[in-house]
A = this chain, B = another copy of it.
Amino acid sequence: MMELRGKAVAESITAAASESIKELKQKGVSPKLAVIRVGKKPDDLAYERGILKRFGDAGCDHEVFELDIACSQKELDDVFDRCNSDKDIHGILVFRPLPKNLSDEHMRKTIDPDKDIDAMGTLNQASLYAGDPSAYAPCTAKAVMELIKFYDIPLTGKRVTVVGRSLVIGKPVALMLTNANATVTVCHTKTQDLASELKRADIIVSAAGAAKMIKADMVGEGQIIIDVGVDTDDEGKMSGDVDYAAVAPKADMITPVPGGVGAVTTSILLSYTVEGAKRTLNG
């Protein structure tokens, strides 16, 4: 069994991005990410720390726009509009979900597709759906694809079972896998016999959000298992969707949690921010 660790993937993506950042700076463009955060939710702050570390190490500019939890819709939209029109900002990440009294509709409808590095925007989603290779995908979905690419895992003609149908992971990853010539089955809470869908897969991508839901008796032998779950198990520990200790011995390759897909996402944000900066040169 080989462990598919995200660190090497992230390092490879970050190294390429760092090179591009140097080249862009020589051309007078310094890639910059804007992070918009409302309130101080611990999850958001943890993700933000990871982003700041990654961007700092790569020499990529970044600025956090913090709004008070009690901010108005207009205050939020104004900050967003300034970032969206600021020529020195090449990527915008908005921590969502927002507090319930705030809407992301204005942002989704107006975000510049070239800055839409977390694929929240309407235009970007339409491009993704249409199979436009220039579309940004949601970071975690893209992280799955980059991990597959890094470890040279072939997709053409392979059976892939995706667990989960969310717009953040399940649906975009299923689309990208289908476009990459895999035969994809999307499972979800209404799937009747999940074990049989899992057992017949060459590759499993799980984004169910339920700790240790996938047990050893639900999978086959020699599969490639990519666990996107970031769940909390009964003991309060971070766990994936897969019961790793029991399942890993049966797998050919498997991502750990933590240390798998999750370790790749901030490098995707970085590479998309660099891509956004490149587009200002080409546009």
Q: Are B130 and A192 in contact (CB under 8 A)?
A: no
Q: How far is the CB of A175 from chain B (nearest CB, A)?
A: 7
Closest to A177 in B: B186
Partner of A190, one of B122, B129, B157, B191: B157
User: Counting CB contacts under 8 A, is A131 at the interface?
Assistant: yes
Which of A127, A187, A190 has the most C-beta atoms of chain B within 10 angstroms of its own C-beta? A190
Q: Which residues from 214 to 235 on chain A have a C-beta closer than 8 Å to any C-beta of chain B?
A: none
Closest to A181 in B: B190
Q: Are B171 and A181 in contact (CB under 8 A)?
A: no
Chain B residues with Cβ below 8 Å from A131 are 167
- Bound complex: CA A174 to CA B186 (Å): 9
- Bound complex: CA A187 to CA B183 (Å): 5
Partner of A183, one of B130, B181, B186: B186
Q: Are A192 and B188 in contact (CB under 8 A)?
A: no
Given contacts A125-B129, A167-B131, contact A184 B183 (CB under 8 A): no
User: Counting CB contacts under 8 A, is A123 at the interface?
Assistant: yes
Q: Are B184 and A185 in contact (CB under 8 A)?
A: yes
Chain B residues with Cβ below 8 Å from A241 are none
User: Counting CB contacts under 8 A, is A20 at the interface?
Assistant: no
Could you show 14 A-B contacts with beta carbons less than 8 Å apart?
A123-B126, A125-B129, A125-B130, A126-B126, A129-B129, A129-B167, A129-B171, A156-B190, A157-B190, A165-B178, A183-B185, A183-B192, A184-B185, A184-B186
